[in-house]
Amino acid sequence: MWNATATAAAMAGCSCSSPFSTPSLFSHPNSNSNSNSNSTGFSSLFNLPSKASSSPSSTQFHSFCLHRSHSLLRPIAAAVSVESPPLENKKLLLEVKDLTAVIAESHQKILSGVNLKFYEGEVHAIMGKNGSGKSTFSKVLVGHPDYEVTGGTVTFKGQDLLEMDPEERSLSGIFMGFQSPVEIPGVSNADFLNMAYNARQRKLGLPELGPIEFFSHVYSKLEMVNMEMDFLNRSVNEGFSGGERKRNEILQLAVLGADLAILDEIDSGLDIDALQDVAKAVNGLLTLKNSVLMITHYQRLLEYIKPAHIHIMENGRIVKSGDETLASVLEKEGYKAISSV
Ligand SMILES: Nc1ncnc2c1ncn2[C@@H]1O[C@H](COP(=O)(O)OP(=O)(O)OP(=O)(O)O)[C@@H](O)[C@H]1O
């Protein structure tokens, strides 16, 4: 099922019915919270004008996906890679083997045998021509219902990811930041985040946070992405500019956390300052355990968030992998320099 955790997970970068937008996660206003946050909400607590209500319905969350985990995040400087331990000490985070997938409705093949190995704490980037399958790959990882896996395996933290529904994927620590973040009219950003956070806490058997405690948690994250407090009171992504939506995705990631954050074109539509803010925030979330998979068309993002590995996708599979020099070759010579055909 695609639910709030999924939504949250998806909003944090996924797609739809479970790790991110699950209705079940939002359907317990009187659950065992230490704060009754769902019924009170940020708006009333802080006297913010109530532009958005605080009661998202399950339907509102159904078209999202999302992500997250709540690992502790250690800030580091922007444009600085986390120093990796030697390979033999690294733990395998994600292993994709011969993954094939089709569009569920039409059975059109999009992924034709993706292979990828990802260790904890690593940053990877996937580049490739328009339509090569990058977004499809990321959506398949979070369990987007538009796609059907037809072959191959995906192991995440030692578990069969393909056996999990989208919400379980989110709860297991995958977050997806979408290329086109979805609006949730009538639901304030703060209440959405608080509910998504508490939904995850509930699922993990951890204490929930009421509006006041949650405000402290979210306030420092706002600073991280250089967003004004007013954004907390606005409906999720409604009326946000393209750049504000991208910042909001990273805010969700910062609030919810993730072992693996998948960021689909997080740099698109960002001005130079916003790109630096977003990159700094993402770098601030990296630890020896937290990992990022970026999808991008541009080398400039990779100048701020340094990937250890760059992969080129073509016709639904990874045709070349290398270090950052691959991005420089692409920038100078285009995809013809590395095309497999
Ligand atoms: N739900 C869908 N319905 C129809 N076609 C789809 C669907 N999802 C993906 N496709 C098609 O699959 C191909 C790969 O799409 P995808 O979005 O994964 O490419 P991409 O590499 O992310 O492209 P871009 O760089 O332009 O974002 C495209 O031809 C796209 O039109």
pLDDT digit string (tens) for the chain, length 341 residues = 344 344 444 443 333 333 333 322 222 223 333 333 333 444 444 434 344 444 444 433 333 333 333 332 233 333 434 455 556 678 999 999 999 999 999 999 999 999 999 999 999 999 999 999 999 999 999 999 999 999 999 999 999 999 999 988 988 899 988 878 888 999 999 999 999 899 888 888 999 999 889 988 899 899 888 899 999 999 999 999 888 898 999 999 999 889 999 999 988 888 898 899 889 889 988 888 889 999 999 888 998 999 999 999 999 999 999 998 888 888 888 888 877 65
* Cα dihedral value 163, 168, 169, 175, nearest 10: 170
How much is the pLDDT for 299? Answer: 86
How much is the pLDDT for 75? Answer: 31
Closest ligand 1 atom to the C-alpha of 316? Answer: 14
For residues 319 and 288, give the distance between their C-alpha atoms in angstroms, rounded to a whole number.
Answer: 28
How much is the pLDDT for 72? Answer: 28
Q: Measuring from atom 9 of ligand 1, which residue has the nearest CA? A: 136
How much is the pLDDT for 66? Answer: 36
- pTM to 2 decimal places: 0.78
How much is the pLDDT for 48? Answer: 41
Closest ligand 1 atom to the C-alpha of 128? Answer: 21
Residue 144 CA, ligand 1 centroid: distance in Å = 13
Closest ligand 1 atom to the C-alpha of 313? Answer: 21
How much is the pLDDT for 46? Answer: 41
How much is the pLDDT for 269? Answer: 83
Cβ(104) – ligand 1 distance below 6 Å: no
How much is the pLDDT for 88? Answer: 61
How much is the pLDDT for 224? Answer: 85
Contact 60, 16 (CB under 8 A): no
Q: Which domains does the chain have, with CATH numbers?
A: 4-72+81-337 (3.40.50.300)
Query: Which of these, 105, 268, 103, 283, lies nearest to 181 by C-alpha position?
Result: 268
Residue environment code for 300-334, b if the CB has 16+ CB neighbours within 10 A, otherwise e: ebbebbbbbbbbbbbbbbbbbeeeeebbebbeeee
Q: Measuring from atom 7 of ligand 1, which residue has the nearest CA? A: 103
Cβ(80) – ligand 1 distance below 6 Å: no
Query: Which of these, 222, 194, 196, lies nearest to 210 by C-alpha position?
Result: 194
How much is the pLDDT for 327? Answer: 86
Q: CB 93: neighbour CB atoms within 10 A?
A: 23
Q: Measuring from atom 26 of ligand 1, which residue has the nearest CA? A: 130
For residues 6 and 165, give the distance between their C-alpha atoms in angstroms, rounded to a whole number.
Answer: 9
How much is the pLDDT for 340? Answer: 60
Residue from 132, 149, 315 to probe ligand 1 pocket by mutation (most atoms less than 8 Å from CB):
132
Q: CB 336: neighbour CB atoms within 10 A?
A: 8
For residues 101 and 117, give the distance between their C-alpha atoms in angstroms, rounded to a whole number.
Answer: 18
Instruction: Provide the pairing of β-strand 291-295 with 260-264.
Output: parallel
Cβ(103) – ligand 1 distance below 6 Å: yes
